Structure 1
Amino acid sequence: MENQSTPSALALSDVFRLVPNRMHEAEGAGRRGFAVWQALRHAEAPVFWVMPAYQPDLPLLWGIPSALGQRLHLVLVRSETDLLWSVEEVLRAGSAGLVIAEPEKPMSLTAGRRLQLAAERGHTTALMLIRDGAGSNACETRWHCAPRPSDGRVAWHEWRLLKNKRGAGGCWTVAWDGLRETEAVVAVGG
């Protein structure tokens, strides 16, 4: 039940949407789930996921919604330099709806700013899945995403907005099964 000081579920859902044409970051054990949620919201546009080829835990492509799997392009790179270059080039090209990347090292302010400029120039949104505390000051928003105990039917997530250049942060507990485009915000915290 909502009280009058709590925004509607629709307004809260809008809080989770990334500002277009900007670079954003997500950290925490639930960052990949947050990335899939974001990718589902980029309609029919291609989604590029850039990550090191030697990373042992690649996304399970058969475990994502088929509508996303049909437009997902997995780009495996050999080095951190190749990862940043690939992300910048895809952003600048303007052919993707969302570019997700998993850098292993903290990004410098220069690297973050280059990605921010490429996102603006190519009218594309970037979501960097970073290690905890490895963010860049150039990002528009930074999210901490953590899985919560499940009830066996639906997965629970805590999505905390740590940094927001356009407003306040916040913390939400979200029920989302990982497949549908809908979610239920069940608790709002500070």
Structure 2
Amino acid sequence: MSLSQSLLLQAPISATPCIPILPEGELHKLNHGLALGRVHQACGSARHRLALWLAAQTTGPVFWIAPKWNTEQLNPCGMMSFINPGRLILVQPKSAKDILWSMEEILRSGASPLAIADIPESPALTPVRRLHLAAEKGGKTGNSAPIGLLLTPGTEGAQGVETRWHLAPDHNGSTGTWRLHRLRARMAPEQGWYVKQEKSKKLPRVSGIIKDNNNLKA
């Protein structure tokens, strides 16, 4: 059999299941969400908001891992417009090394569709690889493969993550507007979008594409 014949007989490659970043994002070419069974990164001053947007599009418990010494704590009243605070299971490790260890164990168990780790700095490549393997295994033990989301304060990229996103308020826009940027993705280019919250909607909507990609993190 020739190579061309064998390629024709191969089954089509199915798209990787994803959680969309925001509803109706495909209308503005934001059709590349967060792949299940993988680890992703979010940075920027509004990264915690992005994590809540993702959590709102899942069902079941969501694990939120943050160091015990972190002075910034989640406010249940502030998240009620997105999700029921009772869905969040807070984990507060006493040491930095236990943050990623906790995330690895949660992903491996498959007990939650989303595990979020608020970490003080970007991890090395080896821990990220371990998280990927744990998420893949969690997909075999749970109902579906879980997602790991790393929240980092700076814009430094974590090696090995599937995608990297940046969210910050749009200071040139009206109240309730943000600038969302995809800084890295294996199957999509860098791109930025304007995001706006509508009073009648639970989650914000993508309102347009940022055409100037030379200043993605502005």
Q: TM-score category by the smaller chain?
A: 0.7 to 0.9
- Seen in structure 2, the aligned counterparts of structure 1 residues 21 and 180 have a Cα distance that, compared at 3 Å, is farther
1:135 equivalenced with 2:157 (yes/no) = yes
1:80 equivalenced with 2:96 (yes/no) = yes
Unaligned runs of 5+ in 1: 1-7
| Richer in strand (by share) | 1
Matched letter for residue 87 of structure 1: M
How far is 1:136 from its partner? 2.0
**1:5 alignment counterpart:** none
**1:96 alignment counterpart:** 112
**2:209 alignment counterpart:** 188
Matched letter for residue 151 of structure 1: S
Aligned-residue identity in percent: 32
**2:169 alignment counterpart:** 147
Whether the 8 Å CA contact 1:157–1:173 is kept in 2: the answer is: yes
Matched letter for residue 131 of structure 1: P
- Seen in structure 2, the aligned counterparts of structure 1 residues 57 and 16 have a Cα distance that, compared at 3 Å, is farther
Matched letter for residue 33 of structure 1: R
CA RMSD of aligned residues (A): 2.3
- Seen in structure 2, the aligned counterparts of structure 1 residues 188 and 13 have a Cα distance that, compared at 3 Å, is closer
| C-alpha distance after superposition, 1:84-134 (max 9, x if no partner) | 110000000001010111111320100111111111111210110012234
With normalisation by structure 2, the TM-score equals 0.75
**2:148 alignment counterpart:** 126
- Seen in structure 2, the aligned counterparts of structure 1 residues 177 and 77 have a Cα distance that, compared at 3 Å, is farther
Structure 2 residue matching 1:77: 3-state secondary structure: coil
Structure 2 residue matching 1:88: 3-state secondary structure: helix
How far is 1:159 from its partner? 0.7
Question: Which of 35, 38, 47 matches 1:22?
Answer: 38
Quick check: which has more Rg, 1 or 2? Answer: 2
Q: How many residues align?
A: 180
Matched letter for residue 188 of structure 1: I
Whether the 8 Å CA contact 2:55–2:62 is kept in 1: the answer is: yes
Matched letter for residue 174 of structure 2: D
How far is 1:157 from its partner? 1.0
Equivalent residues in 2 for 1:159-170 (5 A)? 159-170=180-191
**Could you say which structure has the greater relative contact order, defined with CA pairs below 8 angstroms and 6 or more residues apart?**
1
Structure 1 residue matching 2:92: 3-state secondary structure: strand
Partners of 1:94 and 1:51 lie apart in 2 by 20
Unaligned runs of 5+ in 2: 1-22, 139-144, 214-218
Partners of 1:160 and 1:9 lie apart in 2 by 16
